[in-house]
Structure 1
Amino acid sequence: MRLILVTPAKPGSKAGNRATAERWKTLLANAGHSVRVVTEYDGEPCDALIALHAWRSAGAIRRFRETWPEKPLIVALTGTDIYHHQHEYPEQTLYSMNVADALIGLHGLVADDIPAGLAEKLVTLYQSAEGPESFPEPEMDSKSNRFGVCVIGHLRHEKDSLRAAYATRLLPGDSRIEVLCAGKAHNDEWQRKAEREMAENLRFRWLGELDQADTRQLMANSQVMVISSIMEGGANVVSEACRAGLPVLASDIPGNVGLLGRDYGGYFPVGNEEALADLLNRAETDPGFLATLTQQVGKLAERFIPEKEQASLEQALQLAMQRCSERR
């Protein structure tokens, strides 16, 4: 099939939407499809359109549906679509969700948080990541005695990016924990907040935006990853951590629970640095707890392989074509 994939993230962007679009292009090409990734859609013909982001891609979605009313349309829902935009901008967001022939949700609990009538056209897709063979060996340095904790993602409100840093202020004085945060500041305010925290908190370092190789090295050097988001559509960094065998301490939001499962042992209440500090201290001082988390992410790793993500994309395409033919 000739597919057009719309993403609001421009070429070269390190935004998650762009990485997802490029990965899906590769997976769909592997399945025999011809895929073009665009940031704007002007009505050009294709066999089906896949739009990343119901709200940000609403203009492209409307244009496609009005120009090609009988062709399959797939809309992938992001965290901000589900947990913010459908409430803040309901007309545009719900239009996109309603006119889609198939919806893609990026974690297993999305059906609970969208209008009930839409669940029948929802396909759950777990974003994939490369396996442990793609990660380097840990670096040995003068601070090898430290207990490394990584936080990966752009610094912004939705990510609650400094929660791990705040938690380290509550640790015992003899703790070896150091939090390294990698990601671009969303705006000047976040840059100032990160720089101020770094100046005041010796356990915290902000590394800025890293390329893929340096990000993987950071993960390899870490004993634990923290994902503290207040809203998340299904963060690919969780997939990467599971595939790398890196234990995760995660806020107990649907976007994390929908990836790691209700029985995962590393959750803390969203926004609660006291609870996170307790988990960090336990991870550092209780080898059994850390081993349990490592075992759990190891078992989850199979969920996030490329072959399964490709199969889910094909499932979404098949569902969209089926529902499209039923509309005719």
Structure 2
Amino acid sequence: MHIIMITPAKPGSRAGNRATAERWQWLLQRAGHRVTVVTEYAGEPCDAFIALHAWRSVAAIRRFRSSWPDRPLIVALTGTDIYRHQREYPEDTRYSMAEADALIGLHDRLADDIPAEFSDKLVTLYQSAAGPENLPTPQAEVASAGFNVCVIGHLREEKDSLRAACASRLLPPESRIRVFCAGKPHDEQWQAMAEREMRENHRFRWLGELDQAQTRQLMASSQVMVISSVMEGGANVVSEACRAGLPVIASDIPGNLGLLGADYPGYFPVQNERALADLLNRAETDPEFLDCLKNAVSRLAHRFTPEREQASLEQALALAVQRRSQRS
């Protein structure tokens, strides 16, 4: 099939949605399809259309549906679609969800957070990541800093990006924890906050935006990763941590629970830096707890392989084709 996939993230962007689009392009091409990734859509013909974002891609979805009413449409739901846009922009977001022949959700609790009438076309897809054999040697500068905690992702409100930095201020003086934050700031205010935190907090260092190799090097040099988001559709960085065997301490939001499971031992209440500080201190001082976290993520690693992600994409495509043929 010839598939057109639209993403709002332009070529060269390090945004997660661009990485997802390019990874899906590779996986679908490996399955024998021809895939064109675009950021604008003018009604060009294709055999199937995949839209990343229900709300941000609604104009393209309307154009595709009016131009090619008999062709299958797949919509991938993001965290902002589910936890923000379907409340703030319900007409457009629900239109995209209703018109889709298949919906892709990135964690297994997403069915609880979308209208019930759409649940029969939802396919859960766990985003994949490279295995531990692809991790580089730990970066000497970072590895020598102490007990290293990494926070990876663009600095913005949804990620609550400085929560680990705030938590590190509450640690006992003897703690050797250092928080390394990697990500592009959403705006000048986030950049100023990160720079101020570095000046005032000796435990914190903001590394700016890193490329894939540098990000993997940071993970290899860390003992724990913190995912402090207030909303997530299913963060790929969780997949990366699990595949790398890197323990995760995560906010207890649906997007994390839906990847790590209800029984995962490393959750803290969202935006609660006191509880996060306690978990970080425990991870540093209690080897059994750290091993428990490491074993837990390692048991989940099989969820996040490229083979499994490709199978889920093909499942969503087959479902979309089937449902569209039934409508026609």
TM-score when normalising by structure 2: 0.99
| Deviation of the 1:122 alpha carbon | 0.1
| Deviation of the 1:30 alpha carbon | 0.2
Residue type of the partner of 1:79?
Answer: G
2:71 aligned counterpart, secondary structure: coil
1:50 aligned counterpart, secondary structure: strand
Identity %: 74
1:165 counterpart residue number: 165
2:269 counterpart residue number: 269
Q: Aligned pair in 2 of structure 1 residues 29, 142: CA closer, same or farther (>3 Å)?
A: closer
Q: What pairs with 1:178-197 in structure 2 (closer than 5 Å)? A: 178-197=178-197
1:211 counterpart residue number: 211
2:229 counterpart residue number: 229
> What runs of 5+ residues in structure 1 fail to find an aligned partner?
none
| Deviation of the 1:138 alpha carbon | 1.8
2:92 counterpart residue number: 92
Whole-angstrom distance in 1 between the partners of 2:193 and 2:298:
35
The number of aligned residues is: 328
Whole-angstrom distance in 1 between the partners of 2:87 and 2:129:
31
Q: Deviations over 1:217-240 (max 9, x none)?
A: 100000000000000000000000
Is the counterpart of residue 135 in structure 1 residue 131 in structure 2? no
1:71 counterpart residue number: 71
TM-score when normalising by structure 1: 0.99
2:303 counterpart residue number: 303
| Deviation of the 1:145 alpha carbon | 5.8
Whole-angstrom distance in 2 between the partners of 1:96 and 1:60:
10
Q: Deviations over 1:147-199 (max 9, x none)?
A: 00000000000000000000001000000000000000100000011111110
Q: What pairs with 1:55-66 in structure 2 (closer than 5 Å)? A: 55-66=55-66
| Deviation of the 1:144 alpha carbon | 2.2
Whole-angstrom distance in 2 between the partners of 1:143 and 1:284:
14
Whole-angstrom distance in 2 between the partners of 1:108 and 1:141:
38
Whole-angstrom distance in 1 between the partners of 2:142 and 2:247:
24
| Deviation of the 1:242 alpha carbon | 0.4
Whole-angstrom distance in 2 between the partners of 1:212 and 1:268:
28
2:36 aligned counterpart, secondary structure: strand
2:112 aligned counterpart, secondary structure: helix
Whole-angstrom distance in 2 between the partners of 1:43 and 1:145:
53
Q: Deviations over 1:283-322 (max 9, x none)?
A: 0000000000000000100000000000000000000011
Q: Aligned pair in 2 of structure 1 residues 142, 311: CA closer, same or farther (>3 Å)?
A: closer
Whole-angstrom distance in 2 between the partners of 1:239 and 1:108:
14
1:84 aligned counterpart, secondary structure: helix
Residue type of the partner of 1:62?
Answer: R
Would you say the 8 A contact 2:143–2:221 is kept in 1?
Answer: no
1:321 counterpart residue number: 321
Would you say the 8 A contact 2:142–2:218 is kept in 1?
Answer: no
| Deviation of the 1:142 alpha carbon | 8.7
Q: Deviations over 1:245-265 (max 9, x none)?
A: 000000000000000000100
Q: Aligned pair in 2 of structure 1 residues 287, 93: CA closer, same or farther (>3 Å)?
A: same
2:17 counterpart residue number: 17
1:189 aligned counterpart, secondary structure: helix
| Deviation of the 1:50 alpha carbon | 0.3
Whole-angstrom distance in 2 between the partners of 1:213 and 1:170:
32
> What runs of 5+ residues in structure 2 fail to find an aligned partner?
none
Residue type of the partner of 2:305?
Answer: I
- Structure 1 runs of 4+ aligned residues shifted over 2 Å read 139-145
